[in-house]
Amino acid sequence: MDDFVKVATVGEIPRRSAKIVQVGLREIAIFRDGEEILAIDNVCPHAGGALGAGSCKRGIVYCPIHLWGFDLRTGACDTVADLKADVFETRVEGSDVHVRLTPKANSE
């Protein structure tokens, strides 16, 4: 099922921080990693920190609360093996950024 929605334009995604978008009841943080655009749940699965306020280096966002890292492509946590943030497929069409509403792990 194609459940992508437009959330931003490419120009609205900062180079060194995230753009937070509200999709339904959910906040999603949109980051750039080089030229790739990646999307992760804005709410840290550890204790609710705002991942979109974290710093991003080489595809890892560091939560601003305890500085644990989360892989923007898989959601995997670098500190606790079982902990995962929801991550979302993105698609760029022209200058529009679309995010798939169903998290990656739940979409297959």
Nearer to ligand FES, 56 or 97 (CB): 56
Q: Is 75 in the site for ligand FES (CB under 6 A)?
A: no
> Of 22, 20, 23, which is closest to residue 31 (Cα–Cα)?
20
Identify residue 46 by its one-letter amino acid code. H
Closest separation in Å from C-beta 11 to ligand FES: 29
Q: Is 83 in the site for ligand FES (CB under 6 A)?
A: no
Identify residue 105 by its one-letter amino acid code. A
Q: Is 60 in the site for ligand FES (CB under 6 A)?
A: no
Phi/psi at 84 (5° precision): -140, 135
6, 57, 66, 91: which one binds ligand FES (CB under 6 A): 66
